[in-house]
């Protein structure tokens, strides 16, 4: 992986064979990132497990041939003192047909370029929401943490 950081923004170049989520977890751990938004991603994915939320559970499916990564979004939080990465991807395959969903696993092909914005001094969490049946991003409250309406005042 190659990385470039300018202030709160980062651009990563992942190389063939790297695991997408593991690479982002490693980057966040190395730089102490506990709150970030993954805003862009492009490149090639050679194998992936994606999921579709059917209203009560994720239904996983496999992508077993190379696809173009044409869109990537998500967030980075902290879970038990380690990075927690949540991603959704859109992949384009033969004849330009797109497939997408929650990323459980994705292996980079030729390369992937990923852009993210971090929020230094903050740590989002991802507690389990019983009523939804999933872990839900919690932007948090309290000293040094954002509130529902924005950063702490004063």
Task: List the domain boundaries for the chain.
Answer: 2-135
**% of the chain beyond a pLDDT of 90:** 79
Question: Lowest-confidence range among 3-17, 36-50, 64-78, 137-151?
Answer: 137-151
Residue 90 has a pLDDT of 98
In the block, tokens 């004063």 appear at: 154
Q: Give SS3 for 76.
A: strand
Closest residue by Cα to residue 33 from 140, 117, 114, 150: 117
**What are 62-82's pLDDT values in tens digits?**
999 999 999 999 999 998 889
Pick the CATH number of 2-135 from 3.90.25.10, 3.40.50.2300, 3.30.1330.80, 2.40.10.340: 3.30.1330.80
| Residue 133: predicted pLDDT | 83
Return all residues near 36 (Cβ < 8 A) that are at least 6 apart. Answer: 28, 75, 76, 116, 117, 118, 119
């Amino acid at each position: 992986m190659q990385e470039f950081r300018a202030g709160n923004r980062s651009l990563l170049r992942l190389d063939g064979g790297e695991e997408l989520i593991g690479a982002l977890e490693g980057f966040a751990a190395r730089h102490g990132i506990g709150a970030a938004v993954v805003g862009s991603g492009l490149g090639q994915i050679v194998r992936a497990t994606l999921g579709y939320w059917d209203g009560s559970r994720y239904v996983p499916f496999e992508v077993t041939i190379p696809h173009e990564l044409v869109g990537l979004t998500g967030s980075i939080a902290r879970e038990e003192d380690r990075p927690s990465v949540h991603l959704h991807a859109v992949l384009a395959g033969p004849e330009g047909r797109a497939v997408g969903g929650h990323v459980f696993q994705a292996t980079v092909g030729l390369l992937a370029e990923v852009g993210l914005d971090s929020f230094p001094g903050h740590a989002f969490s991802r507690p389990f929401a019983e009523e939804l049946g999933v872990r839900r991003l919690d932007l948090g409250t309290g000293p040094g943490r954002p509130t529902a309406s924005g950063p702490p005042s004063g």
